[in-house]
Amino acid sequence: MKFSLPFADKLPSIPQRNMPAIGAPVMVLVTLAMVVLPIPAFLLDLFFTFNIALAMVVLLVTVYTRRPLDFAAFPTVLLISTLLRLALNVASTRVVLLHGHDGADSAGKVIEAFGNVVIGGNYAVGLVVFLILMIINFMVVTKGAGRISEVSARFTLDALPGKQMAIDADLNAGLIDQDQARLRRFEVTKEADFYGSMDGASKFVKGDAIAGILILFINIVGGLSIGMIQYDLNFGDAIKIYTLLTIGDGLVAQIPSLLLSIGAAIMVTRQNTDEDMGQQVIVQMFDNPKALTITASILAVMGIVPGMPHFAFISLAILAGFGAYLLHRKQKKASEEKAAPEPDLSDSPQQKELSWDDVQPIDIIGLEVGYRLIPLVDREQGGELLERVKGVRKKLSQDFGFLIPPVHIRDNLELPPNSYRITLMGVAVGEAEIRPDQELAINPGQVYGAIEGEETYDPAFGLEAVWIDDEHREHAQALGYTVVDSSTVLATHLSQLLTNNASQLLGHEEVQNLLDMLGRSAPKLIENFIPDQLSLGAVVKVLQNLLNEAIPIRDIRTIIQTLAEYSGKSQEPDILTAAVRIALRRLIVQEINGIEPELPVITLIPELEQILHQTMQAAGGESAGIEPGLAERLQFSLSQATQEQELKGEPAVLLTSGVLRTTLAKFVKNTIPNLRVLSYQEIPDEKQIRIVQAVGN
């Protein structure tokens, strides 16, 4: 079946990488070892260096990543690096407290370097620097990134249903194909998962900053106590040794923490565009030369003010002015190229001309739905309409004897939200409004009470009906109502319209396919049949005539045999149709009355048949020649007789002569659709006829 709403059955393929399976267990064991076991100083140097390198790599990846989703593993990396840093804090604290009295290098060269070189060996300066780093990390970077992560996660989750509906709408409208829709759904889900994970991962960074402050003061107090009590150090030596080592340890841990916090802030503040951060900053900040020109002017004025550092301000003013000049020249050149007249390509062979590929064919069968009915055709939302439509096509194809064309389903924003429209050859043949969240209780003709709900009519058969909630289903069934869901209502309406217009669905292509199928089983039958004996157009017309009177063409072998036999006598489609009907008389009567041995029929009195014969001869065989008064009385009498047969539970069949059959069939088709018109020759020999009424008295 051809749909513009195909649905995915697998996610987009993701490249698989052969990674060792022991990586995660080794990381866990190393972390536990650092927490539980004493770590030598040289291993601490390696681990601290690795921690700093890891933080720098993560920060650079966040800078050069084009989209946040390209680094979807960032929350996990953030968690792992935080746990590694905390384990290093525990290991370094143990070494500092156990061996700090031996000297500044007792805890490793890295801690010694950060304690002496970075802060100049002054523990007061180191304490101030450390506290400033903690304030920047905790109060500015981490707090802001956490807030942005929280808001982004909430907005992303709130927008998820709308994005899914937009994807379905684009798919129904044919703007994207099945693979593109699958990829976009996967990206939307991945985006929601990413921002949700980032919201939680930001809490790890915040907790790590708080833990750093607490560890600092605990180490200082613990070091003073151990140095003065256990190793008999005086207060000055103890506070110098342990404070320097503790601050060095804290700086080694907090610098990677600050780098990761900055990386997290960059990641959550990034827009989901296909550019890295450098491209975004350069394009958006330095795209306008006016900003650089004004900045250069202000810096130049400040540089000539007495007492100001002239070299610094004037140098930057010159640099900003030169950058503004380059941007202005670049934009001027681009505007001149844009204003240049374009070459005339009207005679160029490369110009693409219109072709027949630009003319889109109309859909043979179309189904347009309002936006509230989209869940009915979305399998991911539990929609069953696609399967129902497929079942309708399968059943009608089996009943009629040819393949029903595909149903093209698309959304139509011009329709009311709960409405749908069925089209044939681009022309609307049916339109109705349904309630996707309710069920339709149909009155079949005899119910034992009323039920509350929105009164309406069944779109397929025009019966009185009521829209009810699901919890009232059993009560409605107990009262005698037929209760169906909205998908069944739409599918039934579609089936009824396709049944009534089956002849329009059969064209030359379908007939040729039928003949090809028959040729594989009976090649001699269709050998030289077309075009020597009969044209393909005549065969199509005959088959359409049969379908127009609800006669299936399943027995295509008998139909072609009859056409081949009578083609030498006449090429008129109506005459050939009458001959085929006689050949299919058993099938026709069986479709009307099953295998019952007796067929109840309605007849016309001889005088009326004679009048109709004379009227047809005078009008050239057209039913329009029936005198209006006679036509009105005939229609009224046949309508009454049909209603009486239906009340008895018997089929309504009008039996007449072969000359009148076609005319009367056209006469009653639209006014009395339940009345079937047969000729005397179309009654099988084994069937008994029981005349129930003679019309015309």
Q: Which pLDDT tens digit goes with each residue over 68-122?
A: 777 777 788 878 888 887 888 788 777 777 776 665 566 667 777 776 665 666 6
Query: Could you report the per-residue pLDDT of 662-686, keeping only the tens digit for each?
Result: 888 888 887 888 888 998 888 888 8
pLDDT digit string, tens, across residues 519-569: 888 888 888 788 788 888 889 999 999 988 888 988 889 998 999 888 888
Is pLDDT larger for residue 622 or for residue 377? Answer: 377
Same domain, 321 and 412: no
Q: Is residue 298 part of a domain?
A: yes
Any residues with CB less than 8 A from the CB of 294 and at least 6 apart, and which?
A: none
In which order are the strands placed within the sheet that holds 464-468?
Answer: 454-457, 464-468, 439-442, 482-485
Q: Is pLDDT above 50 for 125?
A: yes
Burial 557-586 (b: 16+ CB within 10 A, else e): eebbbbbeebbeeeeebeebbbbbbebbbb
Number of domains in the chain: 5
Say what the pLDDT of residue 70 is.
74
Task: Provide the token pair at 546.
Answer: 């049969």
Strand arrangement, sheet containing 407-411: 407-411, 365-369, 419-424, 427-433
Domain end, chosen from 471, 502, 533, is at: 502
Please give the mean pLDDT across all residues of the chain. Answer: 79
Residue 30: is its pLDDT beyond 70?
Answer: yes
Confidence check: pLDDT of 390 > 50:
yes
- pLDDT value for 619: 58
pLDDT of residue 37: 75
* Residues 101, 207 within the same domain: yes
Residue 338 has pLDDT above 70, yes or no: no
Determine, yes or no, domain membership for 546. yes
Report the b/e string of 217-251 with b at 16+ CB within 10 A.
eebbebbbebbbeeeebeeeebbbbbbbbbbbbbb
Residues 422 and 434 in one domain: yes
With 50 as the cut, is the pLDDT of residue 360 above it?
yes
C-alpha dihedral sign at 619, 624, 628, 634: positive
Its domain, for residue 86, covers 41-140+197-274
pLDDT of residue 101: 64
Between residues 460 and 199, which one has the greater pLDDT?
Answer: 460
Residue 346 has pLDDT above 50, yes or no: no
Asked if residue 155 belongs to a domain, the reply is: no
Q: Is residue 542 part of a domain?
A: yes
Q: Of 592, 621, 645, which residue sits at a domain end?
A: 592
What would the pLDDT profile of 186-231 be if each residue is shown by its tens digit?
A: 877 777 777 777 777 777 767 777 777 777 777 777 777 777 777 7
Regarding whether 668 and 527 lie in a shared domain, the answer is no
Shared domain check, 445 and 313: no
pTM of this prediction exceeds 0.85: no
At 245, list the tokens: 């080592």
**Model pLDDT for residues 406-447, shown as the tens digit of each residue:** 888 888 888 888 899 999 988 899 999 998 888 999 988 788
Co-location of 600 and 585 in the same domain: no
117 and 208 belong to one structural domain: yes
| Inside any domain, residue 189 | no
Q: Which of 502, 517, 551 is the last residue of a domain?
A: 502
| CATH classification of the domain holding 485 | 3.40.30.60
Q: Does residue 588 lie in a domain region?
A: yes
Q: Are residues 244 and 134 in the same domain?
A: yes
Say yes or no: 452 and 324 in one domain.
no
Q: Are residues 121 and 255 in the same domain?
A: yes
Which pLDDT score is estimated for 33?
Answer: 74
Whether residues 266 and 131 fall in one domain: yes
- Whether 544 is in a domain gets the answer yes
**Structural domain includes residue 100:** yes
Show the tokens assigned to 574.
């109506």
pLDDT: is 154 or 687 the higher one? Answer: 687
Cβ count near 107 (within 10 Å): 29
Do 451 and 543 share a domain, yes or no?
no
